[in-house]
Chains A and B, each alone.
Chain A
Amino acid sequence: MTKDPSSVLPEAGSSSEAPPPRTAPPSAKAPRGRFPVDVRLAGLLAVFVLLCLVGFLTRPDAFFTEGNLSTILRLAAAIGVVSVGMTFVIISGGIDLSVGSIVALSSVWATTLATQSYGPVVMVLCALGVGLGCGLVNGVLVSYGRVVPFIATLAMYASARGLAERISGRNTQVVREAGFLDFFRGDFLGIPVLIWMFALVFVVGWILLNRTTFGRRTFAVGGNTEAARLAGINVKRHTALVYGVAGLCCGIAALMVVARTTSGASTNGLYYELDAIAAVVIGGTLLSGGRGTLIGTLIGVLIFTVLGNIFTLNNLDTDIQNIAKGAIIVLAVLLQFRTNRSRKST
């Protein structure tokens, strides 16, 4: 705050004066080693297919039914949307620990309005506005305030949930707004609206990341901040916007959770930050930034959702499910570490 951001201190800008020695140029999206990425995606896909096979073999009567597949996708929708935003943040070299709390705050704020019948449009705008606002606060703290992402979003993690508890009075706000419920709980062309929303967010996110300047800049900032700055990218503004995208995704996810549970509660979105980070990491996105794919994230989310579904279909304990989750995360990261080493040769 007190220091002029542009007066570069020797160490503050993370080895600012050292010329980038070994890294690729700023537009390092999918550099020469495109092959290992594909191998990893194929491996991930194989794990997913294998899981589905297990699901089918253990419950041939229930797994591949229309109802079950729709349930899986509906359950994946909220955490999937949050993970899309998280992928942007992590590719840009940051981390967002506050996503779950922002989902809670957005959902509570929107549903608290419902109890006063402000109407569905106001509710939707409120959820999106709260999410975007919280995300931008995160982003401004990180970029202009120079607070480490871990700390800035940790602060939001605590305060957003606190605010959610305050607003709701810790009561679960049941939604009685028929317009809202009819739309978000309904179907469109035989497919639940929640799944359409999930698909839409994913496609828009994919285009934004892979087909626009915004996406290229995100990779560049995460790959080498200093090089990105020298290449003329407004790194501070871009970082703030990336957290804004993540916040907006939380607002959308909050709407989904409210529709699913027909209520807003300050306990919504519990542990979303951990689930989203796990999905993103499994999907092959580097925690150090600069590289990642949304398709990997999508498969990561689906793997976890299908795992939970299979466990419940077979009436198994949730404890073992958590152990399985942990094992999958470790396996994926080990795989990532190996392919990573072959590329960067530390």
Chain B
Amino acid sequence: MSGPTSLARRRFLTGGAAVGAGALLAACTSNESPQSTPQAVAGNQGDNAQPGAHVTIGFSAPAADHGWMAAMTKNARAQAGQFSDVTFTATEGTNDVNQQIAQVETLINQKVGVLVILPFDGAALTAVGQTAMDAGIPVVNVDRVFDTPLAYRTWIGGDNYRMGVNAGNYIASELKKKGVASPVIGEVAGIDSLPLTQERSQGFRDALAKNGFAVGPRVSAQFTPESGEQMTSNLLQSAPKLDALWNHDDDQGIGVLAAIDNASRSEFFMVGGAGSRNMMDLIKADSGVMKATVLYSPSMASSAIALARLLGQNKGIGDLAEHEIPANVTTYSAVVTKENVDSYADVAFDS
């Protein structure tokens, strides 16, 4: 699976060198670090692992312009590769809602067996999801939810609110353990206009309030390392002393940590979000401010493919008493700390 991809990438790089920046650099660009190992492939116990009826799964997702989103597509592809009875048809990722609708329509016309859709915008993709369901194609809706259950057979996604809750609870309990009376708790949020950011912040506020604490300095970044560094640099100037900091997103976390490092600050501890390999490595090393991260794992894409296959084969889930796949599956935002980091290494993603 990774063979042809990296070959094409190498060819592209060599071409790009000539176009972009002069041939002298071309020799230095073959950066094929062997990191494209399939991540987070769900184990399939019981009868469901046995090859069954053949299923064609159509897949549509936004552009992989962010480590987490890239991992979603990568995981879906890797999971499909595990099944000998699955044909995987993926469309090119796009952040243009109109184009994603057109892509899903194409998949419907190809008469795929099951559709897995991670909409760029759940509301905008609802109608086409419903069209697929009406055409008799079950839809597995991943992460960003459609406006109506009529548009999907099953939804699987993360729990943004609980992500905030678990981050808040962890921070509160750690501070109480240390006996800090009135702590200053900072927050580096993601893109503020997205509902997912608002839900995370709400959960964080609620959990802290329950413990008698409140959010202090708060900034909103753009889910990118650069914006994380910029916003955090300013935030650290604003707060000469911090006790804890929650950063919503491990991709931007690289920049957040760079800013902390640059300001030579270490009087507080930091909690991340999503669960990237970088952050898990730092948590394990336990040498800096990074102490925990709350999961929002792209392993949900692997699970979505597994569920889609079972839907296509009219099977249920082994350990449940139900005959069918449930209509909703919400993944849990576990808190990964030094103590349990090893058991979560398999769902870490490369940011």
**Which residues of A approach B to under 8 Å, CB–CB?**
59, 61-62, 65, 67-68, 71, 74-75, 105, 109, 112-113, 115-116, 118, 122, 126, 129-130, 132-134, 137, 159-160, 163, 165-167, 169-172, 174, 185, 257, 260-263, 265-270, 308-309, 312-315, 317-319
Contact = CB atoms under 8 A, between A and B. Distances in A.
B225 A113 contact: no
Given A171-B351, A318-B192, A75 B234 contact: yes
Contacts of A263: 225, 254-255, 258
Contacts of B28: 113, 116, 118, 122, 126
Nearest to B19: A137
Contact of A130 (B25, B35, B220): B25
Nearest to B218: A315
A270 B24 CA distance: 27
Contacts of B230: 75, 308
15 contacts: A109-B25, A113-B28, A170-B64, A170-B66, A170-B67, A172-B67, A172-B351, A174-B254, A260-B262, A263-B225, A263-B255, A266-B65, A312-B231, A317-B220, A318-B192
Contacts of A132: 21
Contacts of A68: 237
Contacts of A260: 226, 229, 255, 258-259, 262
Contacts of B229: 260-261
B345 interface: no
B343 interface: no
Interface string B217-257: 11110111111111101111110100000000001001101
A191 B192 CA distance: 34
B327 interface: no
Given A262-B254, A262-B257, 9 more contacts: A105-B20, A115-B31, A166-B9, A166-B13, A171-B70, A172-B67, A263-B254, A265-B254, A308-B234
A148 to B, nearest CB: 20
B237 A116 contact: no
B7 interface: no
Contacts of A159: 19
Nearest to A192: B262
Which of A62, A105, A265 is the most central at the interface, judged by chain B CB atoms within 10 Å of its CB?
A265
Given A113-B28, A134-B21, A267 B66 contact: yes
A163 B255 contact: no
B326 interface: no
B80 to A, nearest CB: 20
Contacts of B233: 71, 74-75
A160 B237 contact: no
A258 to B, nearest CB: 10
Which of A71, A74, A267 is the most central at the interface, judged by chain B CB atoms within 10 Å of its CB?
A267
A166 B21 contact: no
Contacts of A160: 20
In the A-B complex, the 3 residue pairs with the smallest Cβ-Cβ separation, listed nearest first, are: A133-B21, A312-B234, A267-B224
Contacts of A169: 9, 36, 70
B331 to A, nearest CB: 23
B33 interface: yes
A133 B255 CA distance: 27
Contacts, number: 155
Which of A118, A172, A265, A314 is the most central at the interface, judged by chain B CB atoms within 10 Å of its CB?
A172
A167 B238 contact: no
Contacts of B222: 267, 270
Contact of B234 (A105, A257, A269, A313): A313
Nearest to B215: A315
A267 B226 contact: yes
Which of A59, A169, A308 is the most central at the interface, judged by chain B CB atoms within 10 Å of its CB?
A169
B285 interface: no
B263 A67 contact: yes
A115 B228 CA distance: 22
B20 A134 contact: yes
Contacts of B13: 166-167
B3 to A, nearest CB: 15
Which of B20, B31, B219, B236 is the most central at the interface, judged by chain A CB atoms within 10 Å of its CB?
B20
A185 B261 CA distance: 10
A309 B237 contact: yes
A270 B19 contact: no
Nearest to B256: A261
B350 to A, nearest CB: 5
A317 B220 CA distance: 8
B7 to A, nearest CB: 13
Contact of A267 (B25, B29, B65): B65
A78 to B, nearest CB: 9
Contacts of B263: 67, 71
B16 interface: yes
Nearest to B253: A172
A257 B236 CA distance: 18
Contact of B240 (A62, A126, A163, A308): A62
A309 B20 contact: no
A129 B230 CA distance: 26
Given A116-B28, A129-B22, A318-B220, A257 B226 contact: yes
A171 B350 contact: yes
A192 to B, nearest CB: 9
Contacts of A112: 29, 31
A257 B33 CA distance: 23
